[in-house]
Structure 1
Amino acid sequence: MKTKLVALMVCCLSCVALADTKAVKTVTVSGSAIMQAKPDAVRLTMQIQQSSEKVSDAKQKVDDQVAALTKALRKLGVKDDQLNNAPLRIQQDYQHDPERKLPQRYQVSRDIVVSLNDLSLYGTVLQQAADLGVTQMNQAEFLVSGSDELYQKALQQAFTHAKTKASLLAQANGLKLGSAQKINEQGYAPAPVMKMARAMADSAEVSFGQTDIRAEVSVEFEMNSH
């Protein structure tokens, strides 16, 4: 009998607890913001390649060209920590003679990565690279220094945007906007802006344009009665 009475009391307490629990009204909105900035740095990736029957001969030619380019870049003010010319590749030149009628040849190539914090050197560096026999010039990566700080500002504006939207929705339903319950960051700082680098510099003015730093958030707000 006592067991049944205890079970009945627990059941009654559960019902009271459920009756006192009020459903929380919420609204979930998204917010976004964009900060624009001009690139102030660029990363150039170029390649010097030579082919020969002997790997040592091809490598020597590549090394000589890389040394000449490195010297020219240093004269322009490019420092050692802005220059990486270490990656070296050696492979058989299969395209040289598909039918193997000529002696086997080898391709030796070295990548040169140059980071410039002064965009005024952009055209000059390209000219030097072309003059000194760079085989391939990849797309230039234009960068924005201080992008983290700009992204943080965009993130704050994105939250403000979301809160404004949520407030309007709450008012439309005759409610008052409460505090944020959940915040999900959906945006990110920009990737480098990719542009084709010119093989030769010319007298035309170079325009680097602007890049967008976008932030996006999803926020769940509580809505209360007045």
Structure 2
Amino acid sequence: MQRRDFLIGTATAGAAGLSGCLGTAQQATDAGSTADSDGGRTITVTGSAEMQAPPDRAVIEVSVEATGDSAPAVRDELSTRSDSLRQALRDAGLSDDQLTTGRFAIRPQYARREPGTEPEQTGYEGTHTITIDVEDIDATGDVIDTAIDGGADSIGRIEYTLAESTRESLREDALKAAVDTARDEADVLAARVDSRVVSVQQLNAAGGGVSPTYERYDVAEAASGGSTELQPDDVTVSASVEATYRID
């Protein structure tokens, strides 16, 4: 990760160029509070936070396609072409662990039919999709170029996300910020009823997750553009907590 700055605020940050933004606590019990089992009063609030950082992992779907008079013929062609594609990617430095089969399908192919007539089967068509896990985000464009040169007919969805270690670290930061935001909200609510927060009664992680960014790649459009250059957006990691505080 090259950048992990963030802004703590009471409203959603809108300034461009910041790599993180934290939201306010989103809800609370009524300002009059509620009573707990010991006869005391409590306030329940939900705090949320979002952290943003540049992606450090990409997942690319590439496909080879084939047509033929029979399903076995299509199967064999897909096998030959996908093997060639895999070898090209291996020669570029990718390991077999980074190359997995995403989808394999063979289906009948039909001619366009006139209304009221039976469909006429003309052969078979098939697709073999390989999912590529790119660990060096700066190499994403080169991997796509290698796939195209290696025989890929199409480049599907490109997903920019985070490595597991980066994701967990950002989630921890988001959780800490969400707890701080919830406590700030509880202090405000308690003051409105001439009280103060005494202790936390219950604290639970209430939600959150990772929001990758995606990009579509048009092989035909990119064919005349030379090497591929991509500029992915930041990935967002969010977390929220529900906290119950005792007040007096």
TM over 0.5: yes
Tell me, in whole angstroms, the C-alpha distance in 2 between the residues paired with 1:193 and 1:89. 27
Tell me, in whole angstroms, the C-alpha distance in 2 between the residues paired with 1:31 and 1:86. 38
Tell me, in whole angstroms, the C-alpha distance in 1 between the residues paired with 2:102 and 2:135. 21
Q: For the Cα contact (< 8 Å) 1:47–1:111, is it kept in 2?
A: yes
Judged with a 3 Å threshold, the aligned counterparts in structure 2 of structure 1 residues 204 and 129 are, in CA distance, closer, same or farther, namely: closer
Judged with a 3 Å threshold, the aligned counterparts in structure 2 of structure 1 residues 189 and 22 are, in CA distance, closer, same or farther, namely: closer
Q: For the Cα contact (< 8 Å) 1:66–1:85, is it kept in 2?
A: no
Quote the residue 2:167 is aligned against: 147
User: Offset at 1:116?
Assistant: 0.5
Judged with a 3 Å threshold, the aligned counterparts in structure 2 of structure 1 residues 204 and 52 are, in CA distance, closer, same or farther, namely: closer
Greater Cα offset, 155-164 or 196-205? 196-205
Q: Which amino acid aligns with 2:109?
A: D
Tell me, in whole angstroms, the C-alpha distance in 2 between the residues paired with 1:62 and 1:218. 52
Deviation by residue 1:95-130 (Cα, 9 ceiling, x = unmatched): x35467976401122111110001232112222333
Q: Secondary structure at the match of 2:159?
A: strand
- 1:99-114 → structure 2 map (5 Å cutoff): 104-114=122-132
- 1:13-162 → structure 2 map (5 Å cutoff): 23-85=39-101, 87-94=103-110, 96=111, 98=113, 104-145=122-163, 146-162=166-182
Q: Greater strand percent: which structure?
A: 2
User: Offset at 1:53?
Assistant: 0.6
- 1:210-221 → structure 2 map (5 Å cutoff): 210-221=234-245
Tell me, in whole angstroms, the C-alpha distance in 1 between the residues paired with 2:94 and 2:151. 19
User: Offset at 1:181?
Assistant: 2.0
Greater Cα offset, 79-88 or 213-222? 79-88
Quote the residue 1:5 is aligned against: none
User: Offset at 1:198?
Assistant: 4.6
Quote the residue 2:10 is aligned against: none
**TM score, norm. by length of structure 2:** 0.73
Quote the residue 1:194 is aligned against: 214
**TM score, norm. by length of structure 1:** 0.79
Q: Which amino acid aligns with 1:126?
A: I
What is the identity percentage for the equivalent residue pairs of Structure 1 and Structure 2? 24
Rg larger for? 1
Quote the residue 2:233 is aligned against: 209
Cα RMSD, aligned residues only: 2.4
Tell me, in whole angstroms, the C-alpha distance in 1 between the residues paired with 2:212 and 2:151. 27
Gaps of 5+ in 2: 1-36
Q: Greater helix percent: which structure?
A: 1
Q: Which amino acid aligns with 2:99?
A: L
Q: For the Cα contact (< 8 Å) 1:46–1:136, is it kept in 2?
A: yes
Tell me, in whole angstroms, the C-alpha distance in 1 between the residues paired with 2:132 and 2:38. 62
Give the structure, 1 or 2, with the largest relative contact order (CA under 8 Å, sep 6 or more): 1
Deviation by residue 1:155-198 (Cα, 9 ceiling, x = unmatched): 11101110111112222322120222233422322143222135
Gaps of 5+ in 1: 1-20
